[in-house]
Structure 1
Amino acid sequence: MEKCYKVFVINPGSTSTKVAMFENDKKIFQTNVDHPVEELDQCKEIPDQLPLRLKTIKQALDDAGVSLEGIDAIAARSGSLAGLEGGVYRVNDKLLEDSFTNKYVKHPNSLGPTIAKKLTEEYGGEVFCVNPPDVDELCDYERVSGFHEFVRMSRSHPLNQKENCIRYAESQGKTYEEMNLIVCHLGGGVSIGAHRKGKMFCVNDAINGDGPMAPTRAGWLPATALVKMCFSGNYTENEIMNRITKKGGLTDHLGTADAREIVKRINEGDKYAELIYNAFIYQIAKAVGGCAAALKGDVDAVILTGGIAYDEYLTSRLKEYISWIAPIVDVPGELEMEGLAAGAIRAMEGLEETKEYTGIPVWSGFDCAPEFDTSKDSTKYY
């Protein structure tokens, strides 16, 4: 690489924003910018947080003596977009509109492109979005559920999953498009994805709590029991949704999402903690096995990534279930910041063709499906 690209990376979270500066693949600065909760609480909607987040990011950079002068690009985490193909997108007006207005999903990461655009208006540079959570490359079989009104959606961790695939393929002297891989993203949310020749064609909807139980998400639930709970009169819709997507899984059972605390309790003789955590591992293993079946057994490697992949208790037991499938590759932590920077650099180098966000979902229904009565507005269910 002849040119030294300077790329600033923005990754908004619920109460903080991760920012980093890269010179080519070398990270020269990173910090987690905290946003005062009491100030965030004064914002009625997520878009109202923009001035606060922009101000605190600038202040953090000033405090650290980091300048954005001369940057080549800003790569921002995004969200709340129409289902799209994986890849690198130049941030256009339609992407800014859909993300900033939280058109599809309400999450602070949707502020990323607008924060980036505001900064480039002041300092210059291009703006990119890389493999946002809305990447949708599912095969049709993966979408079908037992109700014609419901289809399964692709909302997971494509940024970390795909960056791990790209890097592993390079380590083998191949490209992502030449390999079949299974990736286990093990964090606050858990997504298990099957990648076939460069497409994540099979993955659970981790954002909405589908798939294996997770530290903060319920995962698969018995449907009829859930229906009875919903109609019991004891819970509001928001309470049920929060329990499924924010307070379920390990948190619901054990009162914590911290794997380290759970393992400590197991080592101290807590049998219930042992039961629940081992069940968590078991469910992950079943999902990996399902991905292996979807790939018809043709798997080059299984990659373990995410924060919980640091936990040797989990990884050693998980490997007992799945090591027969393919070589296991340990990549604990996450490569989201690196993935954003690398995607922007690939685009500027001309190594990857950038894509244009249209706002039109890549999937709009099964071409062969019969017409159903839509008078009950079935789309509201998903």
Structure 2
Amino acid sequence: MYRVIVLNPGSTSTKVALYEGEQRIFSENINHPASDLAVFPNIVDQLPYRKEIITKTLKEKGVDPGEADAFSAICTGLMPMAGGVYEVNEKMYAHGQIGPGSRHPGNLGPLLAKDFAEEFGGRAFIVDASSVDEFEEEARMTGFAELLRTSRGHPLNQRAAARKYAADCGRAYEELNLVVAHLGGGISVSAHCQGKMVDTVDSTRGEGRMAPTRSGTAPLADVVGLCYSGKYTEKEMLTKIMKTGGWVAHLGTSDAREVEKRIAEGDKFAELVYRTTAYQIAKDIAAMASVMKGKVDAIILTGGVAYSEMMTGMIGERVSFIAPVKIYPGEFEMDALAAGAIRVLDGKEEPRYYTGEPVFPGFIKETK
């Protein structure tokens, strides 16, 4: 019964939980007032503040960090890496402070885990960082010689849902071919081929289908026209793609419950937007199935929007011919962080070590 303290820093809150084995003993969502965070010029400067509040919360819950076998944290924004459980090393800690993702609160995760482990004992882990990149070569190339596709999405929750399905059917995740769609404010659809995420379509940077707050893909020539129309700055265009596209652009809301309420009240345009989103998600799922040559054991729908029977029903109607559709609504990030640490502590999985080096060095152009 290993004791694992799980840490999940977000933009305005930090989730902390204690697990004994895979049983959650307690979980707390610590809110951080904007006035408290405003005094820190950079995300990394929040580290002592968040650590102090976490320590105080653990004390109030009667939890001694010194009795923890491990501290397991979320991680975002590091260099691309293979999936799995990583033991936080000096290179990861350094990149968390100054690296490419140092502006994202999720990158406080490995810093917090290592600081707690060094002060109280135990080991420090991160699990399936947002920068998991296990793409095949064909998934990387674009029609622009200057641009490559890199993996970005929701690997932690996708893999957690996939592992839940594997456990439910009595098989190992590493022997299954799955298409997993995370349905939230952002949407990602991935091909999980025998334990590796070999391709992903993620709406965060403008790929795939529209999402509640993302634009998704659009004809590139027309997008270039908008960029040079003089109406929008670069920042405003990126905001359209990442924050105010999709449902927000069309309907002024990112809440699936609000959209369904409008549909129930007879709003035909809201119904069209919702139906179009399901249509586009289904296309992405079919595309990921083709990556695995149609050999798909199951299609898994997860994330907050997967609670919607209307949305999952519309998607299922279009893709159930490929494979059975299984629904695991919600998010399992905290459970996944604990489970990953426990797999290593149990000796069931070897920890990986972050190198900070690109997982893909580039294409080799052979000429005769």
Give the TM bin, normalised by the shorter chain.
over 0.9
Residue of structure 2 in register with 1:373 after alignment: none
Task: Give deviations 1:336-370, integer Å, cap 9, x for gaps.
Answer: 11111111000011100111111111112112378
Q: For the structure 1 residues 358 and 146, does the alpha-carbon distance in structure 2 shift closer, same or farther, using more than 3 Å as the test? A: same
Pair 1:173 & 2:170 matched: yes
Paired with 1:199 and 1:72, the residues of 2 have a C-alpha distance of 28
Paired with 2:185 and 2:265, the residues of 1 have a C-alpha distance of 24
Residue of structure 1 in register with 2:105 after alignment: 108
Paired residue secondary structure (1:127): strand
Q: For the structure 1 residues 150 and 105, does the alpha-carbon distance in structure 2 shift closer, same or farther, using more than 3 Å as the test? A: farther
Give 1:24 deviation, angstroms.
0.6
Pair 1:290 & 2:267 matched: no
TM-score scaled by length of structure 2 = 0.96
Give 1:36 deviation, angstroms.
0.9
Give 1:206 deviation, angstroms.
3.8
Paired with 2:68 and 2:203, the residues of 1 have a C-alpha distance of 34
Residue of structure 2 in register with 1:279 after alignment: 276
Paired with 2:194 and 2:155, the residues of 1 have a C-alpha distance of 15
Residue of structure 1 in register with 2:256 after alignment: 259
Pair 1:367 & 2:351 matched: no
Residue of structure 1 in register with 2:55 after alignment: 58
Pair 1:248 & 2:245 matched: yes
| Count, aligned residues | 367
Residue of structure 1 in register with 2:346 after alignment: 349
Give 1:294 deviation, angstroms.
1.2
Give 1:63 deviation, angstroms.
3.8
Paired residue secondary structure (1:8): strand
Pair 1:153 & 2:150 matched: yes
Paired with 1:312 and 1:41, the residues of 2 have a C-alpha distance of 40
Paired with 1:178 and 1:350, the residues of 2 have a C-alpha distance of 20
Identity of aligned residues (%): 48
Task: Give deviations 1:261-280, integer Å, cap 9, x for gaps.
Answer: 11111111111111111111
Residue of structure 2 in register with 1:195 after alignment: 192
Equivalent residue for 2:32, pick from 32, 35, 38: 35
Residue of structure 2 in register with 1:375 after alignment: none
Pair 1:324 & 2:321 matched: yes
Paired residue secondary structure (1:121): helix
- Structure 1 unaligned residues grouped into runs of 5+: 371-382
CA contact (8 A) 1:35 1:56 kept: no
Task: Return 212-221 or 299-308, whichever deviates more.
Answer: 212-221
Task: Give deviations 1:53-76, integer Å, cap 9, x for gaps.
Answer: 223323333344443230000001
Paired with 1:208 and 1:12, the residues of 2 have a C-alpha distance of 22
Q: Which residue identity lines up with residue 311 of structure 2 in the other structure?
A: L
Give 1:49 deviation, angstroms.
2.0
Residue of structure 1 in register with 2:22 after alignment: 25
Q: For the structure 1 residues 19 and 265, does the alpha-carbon distance in structure 2 shift closer, same or farther, using more than 3 Å as the test? A: same
Q: Report matched runs for 1:42-53 at 5 Å.
A: 42-53=39-50
Q: Report matched runs for 1:106-145 at 5 Å.
A: 106-145=103-142
Paired with 1:172 and 1:28, the residues of 2 have a C-alpha distance of 27
Residue of structure 2 in register with 1:376 after alignment: none
Pair 1:223 & 2:255 matched: no
Task: Give deviations 1:274-309, integer Å, cap 9, x for gaps.
Answer: 111111111111100101111111000011100110
Paired with 2:117 and 2:21, the residues of 1 have a C-alpha distance of 19
Give 1:105 deviation, angstroms.
6.5
Paired with 1:369 and 1:13, the residues of 2 have a C-alpha distance of 45
CA contact (8 A) 1:80 1:98 kept: no
Paired residue secondary structure (1:94): helix
Paired with 1:369 and 1:214, the residues of 2 have a C-alpha distance of 40
Paired with 1:48 and 1:209, the residues of 2 have a C-alpha distance of 31
Paired residue secondary structure (1:80): coil
Residue of structure 2 in register with 1:81 after alignment: 78
CA contact (8 A) 1:152 1:205 kept: no
Residue of structure 1 in register with 2:93 after alignment: 96
Residue of structure 2 in register with 1:374 after alignment: none
CA contact (8 A) 2:42 2:103 kept: no
Paired with 1:148 and 1:286, the residues of 2 have a C-alpha distance of 26
CA contact (8 A) 2:95 2:102 kept: no
TM-score scaled by length of structure 1 = 0.92
Q: Which residue identity lines up with residue 236 of structure 2 in the other structure?
A: E
Q: For the structure 1 residues 70 and 105, does the alpha-carbon distance in structure 2 shift closer, same or farther, using more than 3 Å as the test? A: closer
Paired with 2:237 and 2:81, the residues of 1 have a C-alpha distance of 29
Paired with 1:57 and 1:246, the residues of 2 have a C-alpha distance of 30
Give 1:210 deviation, angstroms.
2.0
- Structure 2 unaligned residues grouped into runs of 5+: none
Give 1:104 deviation, angstroms.
4.4
Task: Give deviations 1:66-120, integer Å, cap 9, x for gaps.
Answer: 4323000000111221111111110000011112224246311011111122222
Paired with 1:209 and 1:21, the residues of 2 have a C-alpha distance of 37
Equivalent residue for 1:238, pick from 225, 235, 248: 235
Give 1:35 deviation, angstroms.
0.9
